[in-house]
Amino acid sequence: MPTSARAPRVTREQWVDAATATFRTEGLTGVRVEAVARALGVTKGSFYWHFADRRALVNAVVERWEAEQTEDVIARTAGGGEPRDRLAALFAEVAARTAGRGGERRLYLEAAAEGVQDAVRRVTARRVEHVTALLVELGLPADVARARAVVSLAAAVGADQLAEALPPGTDRGALVAAALQMALAPPGRR
């Protein structure tokens, strides 16, 4: 912490905003104090007014990712209506948010190295739990609903990770619609 009593000119929120912008394009490995300070037009020293170290900044970015990409999405798509409509709204929201999720594409691979694997596990569990609950509301047995929720999440994350390698013209919305149809298919015979 600086010894000067002068208040910093860049707020904690601005640091998190800038670091989150970097995360969205470069992943967590791109969130470096010096680079974020340059983006803000301040010295690295001002960072310590708000954060003890880089890990604290990374944790703040991951907390925001969790809020924006999970809790906010669930809240926006969980409003009234039939479970099928809420599930369709959720899948549509996920498809629409692809452009700003470059950091999430890398996050599952970077989580352990960046020390945020617990947060990634928590988000994954929350997402699976939410989709499972909707599928159970639709009448699927809990074990089938959970398996389909996991596969749906894997499809969404996998499609994001493959985004740069998919053939030109691949319609992300169509991929998400296919994942939704798979999730909603009547249970097969065993």
Q: Is residue 48 part of a domain?
A: yes
Q: Is residue 6 part of a domain?
A: no
Higher per-residue pLDDT: 182 or 133: 133
> Over the stretch 72-85, which tens digit does the pLDDT of each residue have?
999 988 877 899 99
Give the range of the structural domain holding residue 89, as residue numbers without chain letter.
12-184
| Number of structural domains found in the chain | 1
Tally the C-alpha atoms within 13 A of residue 180's C-alpha that lie toward its C-beta.
19
> Over the stretch 150-169, which tens digit does the pLDDT of each residue have?
998 888 877 777 777 778 88
Q: What is the pTM of this model?
A: 0.84
Reference 76, options 53, 101, 96; nearest CA is 96
Q: What angle do CA 32, 117, 164 make, to 5 degrees?
A: 65
Q: How far apart are CA 185 and CA 54, in angstroms?
A: 45
Higher per-residue pLDDT: 21 or 98: 21
pLDDT at 36 over 70: yes
Confidence of residue 190 (pLDDT cuts 50, 70, 90): very low
Domain of 174, CATH number, reads: 1.10.357.10
Q: Between the CA atoms of 30, 176, 87 and 150, what dihedral angle is there, to the nearest 10 degrees?
A: -70
Per-residue confidence (pLDDT) for residue 8, from 0 to 100:
52
Q: Is residue 81 part of a domain?
A: yes
